Amino acid sequence: MTITGQGISMRAVVTGGAGFIGSHLCTRLLRDGNSVLCIDNFLTGQEANITPLRANAQFSFLNHDVSEPISVEGPVDLIFHLASAASPIHYQKYPIQTLKVGSLGTHHALGLAKSKKSAFFLASTSEVYGDPLVNPQPESYWGNVNPVGPRGVYDEAKRFAEAMTMAYHRVHGVNTHIARIFNTFGPRMQEEDGRVVPAFITQALTNKPLTVFGDGSQTRSFCYVDDLVEGILRLVKSDAHDPVNLGVPSEMTVLQIAQKIIQLTGSKSVIEYRTLPVDDPKVRRPDITRARQLLGWEPTHPLDDSLRATIAYFKSRLSR
């Protein structure tokens, strides 16, 4: 079995494969010569993300809610479990679905991995660190999460998903991998999902004010989706079972990313300050020592080039 396109192909299942990251992962797996079964219920995904893949005979699609039991015919080598609302707007709009997919959905995906004797990958998140009191965040940090706040539905679902994944590894010996993904962006995000990069790009391209929450001094790091997919593929080939942070190890403020997007789009937009959402993390930056050491991975795509590619995508969508 290989996931590198070196001749022997594998059959992968990708839950959430019609979403932003999932569709890039499906594309890369197919390009590398593997076959892919994408499972999605389009809660936050888009048919357009997978339309180009449907022509590939190695691609198949199942419209299914993975919070219900999952049934797949035939052998499966690797399950990538990405299904979950991911943007703060989406997971607060679908709080119960988010809790269910992180708990029941993860349980079902792990059950499938156990029965098929396949490897398993969980798309976890930097949100498991909550509003961190340690910066940058190493994987050894246990986090500062408000379980009953508006973000708790996502944070706690992912924390449960990590615990369930480790239990299946320890009890059933499933070959599991967990990535804690930090803010990732690129083409195929949805302008209306409200995440900062698509929101600012759409606002800038339509010369509307960029809505900076709070005073814009909160920090994030921004990883291009191609770098993330490379990290995920290296992780599933590794022996790493404990969580591994994947993200860009340098941070910038939200105000800085707003200014950069105005500059790169040549927009006439101004900045408009809005109330900071409850529990919005004040800092976020990954310590990627573990990814460097275990996977030989670090992001390579320069921020400006990645933003330009993403701006071009949104330009083409807006001109339709």
Site for ligand NAD contains 142 (CB under 6 A): no
Interior angle at CA 295, CA 14 and CA 38, nearest 5: 5
- Residue 158 CB neighbour total at 10 angstroms: 27
Q: Which does 254 bind (CB under 5 to 8 A by kind): ligand NAD, ligand UDP, none?
A: ligand UDP
Return all residues near 185 (Cβ < 8 A) that are at least 6 apart: 195, 197, 198, 222, 223, 224, 225, 306, 310
Residues 183-222 vs ligand UDP: string with x where CB under 6 A?
Answer: x----------xxx--x-----------xxx----x-x--
Residues 128-167 vs ligand UDP: string with x where CB under 6 A?
Answer: ----------------------------------------
Please identify, among the stretches 60-68, 70-78, 109-117, 133-141, the one whose residues bind ligand NAD according to the rule CB under 6 A: 60-68
| Of residues 186, 156, 185, the one with CA closest to residue 309 | 186
- Residue 94 falls in the annotated catalytic set: no
- Residue 250 CB neighbour total at 10 angstroms: 13
Cβ-based nearer residue to ligand UDP, 53 or 196: 196
Copy the structure tokens of residue 248: 């860009």
Least Å from the CB of residue 134 to ligand NAD: 18
Least Å from the CB of residue 22 to ligand NAD: 5
Return all residues near 125 (Cβ < 8 A) that are at least 6 apart: 86, 154, 155, 158, 180, 181, 182
Copy the structure tokens of residue 311: 């701006």
Least Å from the CB of residue 160 to ligand UDP: 18
If you compute the radius of gyration of the chain from its CA atoms, what whole number of angstroms results? 19
Binding residue for ligand NAD, selected from 67, 176, 245, 306, defined by CB under 6 A: 67
- Residue 152 CB neighbour total at 10 angstroms: 19
Please identify, among the stretches 18-26, 145-153, 203-211, 251-259, the one whose residues bind ligand NAD according to the rule CB under 6 A: 18-26
Site for ligand UDP contains 254 (CB under 6 A): yes
Q: Which of 91, 94, 154, 168 is catalytic?
A: 154
User: Strands 252-253 and 219-220: what pairing?
Assistant: antiparallel
Give the active site residues. 154
Where do contacts with ligand NAD occur on this chain (CB under 6 A)? 15-16, 18-22, 39-45, 65-67, 82-86, 101, 105, 123, 125, 181, 183-184
